[in-house]
């Protein structure tokens, strides 16, 4: 799948479904059960490698997993790959070199975290044909500075996030992940932008939703409040994934209990 096809779904009002994915077998399963976007997330640092954060994940790790996911998906789903910590923050040139390697491994888009400080890099990548997904709110790569808690809960922080979102779109970002922010703010951002917003702990009003695959399958010992175990009562993994897709498409997930 290419970016114009994905964006056309959002323009038509279809909710986009996104799940993290790290290998070929799950890529095939997710693509065959209607998941629009496979996010090769640096969350693999925790879900696959057993670390306490995403920070130990390297660019080489991301290339390896992106290549596996791309082969499993076989062009049936859109693939977004995270730029890991330390692989893009130094300069736009560093971001381009890292992104180019992920694109060569099979990514259709790269994702990076941060607001105003990332504008130059987003512009640099977009002008060179690399689609960019931005990420605001809770930034897992900044966990040592912020901790794992909801963000933008006061007026000043909310105004800054809204400003950053518009600036990232103007710089060339073509999708935006909003993580762990108040639902009312996510709704305002979504209405303010022309590009799709993808929520995780950001309420029901985003253009799409993303969850970590292990949370969906009930494999996380202490899942975050915005997650839901779709494996419970599903019978098998394919049914659980289909249930997630159906719930997002029909708007029954996320519910009020999953937001802030």
Domain ranges of the chain: 3-258
What b/e string do you get for 225-242 counting C-beta neighbours within 10 Å, with b at 16 or more?
A: ebbbebbeebeebeebbb
Using 50 as the pLDDT threshold, list the residues of the chain that sit under it.
none
pLDDT at 48: 97
Domain 3-258, CATH among 3.50.50.60, 3.20.20.60, 3.30.497.10, 3.30.450.20:
3.20.20.60
30 closest CA partner among 16, 12, 17:
17
Tokens in use for 172?
Answer: 């060339």
Contact yes or no for 215/224 (Cβ under 8 A): yes
Q: What angle do CA 132, 145, 63 make, to 5 degrees?
A: 35
pLDDT at 230: 97
**Which residues, 6+ apart, have CB-to-CB distance to 252 below 8 Å?**
none
Measured CA to CA in angstroms, residue 125 lies from 21, 119, 134, 206, 238 at distances of 24, 10, 12, 25, 36
Q: Give the residue ranges of DSSP H helices in 53-210.
A: 59-73, 92-104, 119-126, 143-146, 155-171, 183-192
Decide the pairing of beta strands 197-200 and 208-211.
Answer: parallel
> Which helix or strand (DSSP H or E) is residue 7 part of?
helix 3-11
Which sequence positions are flagged as catalytic?
179
d(C-alpha 54, C-alpha 77), whole Å: 24
123: left (phi over 0), alpha (psi -120 to 50) or beta: alpha
């Amino acid at each position: 799948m290419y970016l114009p096809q994905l964006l056309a779904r959002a323009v038509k009002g279809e909710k986009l479904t996104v799940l993290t994915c790290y290998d070929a077998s799950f890529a095939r399963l997710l693509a065959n059960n209607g998941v629009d976007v496979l996010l090769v997330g640096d969350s693999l640092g925790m879900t696959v490698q057993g670390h306490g954060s995403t920070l130990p994940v390297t660019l080489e790790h991301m290339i390896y997993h992106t290549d596996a996911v791309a082969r499993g998906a076989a062009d049936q789903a859109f693939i977004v790959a995270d730029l890991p910590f330390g692989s893009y923050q130094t300069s736009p040139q560093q971001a381009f070199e890292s992104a180019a390697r992920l694109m060569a491994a099979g990514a259709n888009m790269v994702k990076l975290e941060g607001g105003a400080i990332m504008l130059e890099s987003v512009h640099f990548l977009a002008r060179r044909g690399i689609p960019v997904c931005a990420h605001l709110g809770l930034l897992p790569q900044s966990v040592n500075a912020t901790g794992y808690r909801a963000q933008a809960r006061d007026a000043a922080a909310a105004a800054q996030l809204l400003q950053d979102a518009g600036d990232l779109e103007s710089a060339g970002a073509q999708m935006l992940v909003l993580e762990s922010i108040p639902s009312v703010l996510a709704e305002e951002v979504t209405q303010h932008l022309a590009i799709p917003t993808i929520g995780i702990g950001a309420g029901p009003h985003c253009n799409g939703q993303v969850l970590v695959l292990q949370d969906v399958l009930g494999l996380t010992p202490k899942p975050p409040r915005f997650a839901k175990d779709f494996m419970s009562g599903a019978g098998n993994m394919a049914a659980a994934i289909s249930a997630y897709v159906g719930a997002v498409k029909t708007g029954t997930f996320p519910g009020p209990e999953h937001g802030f």
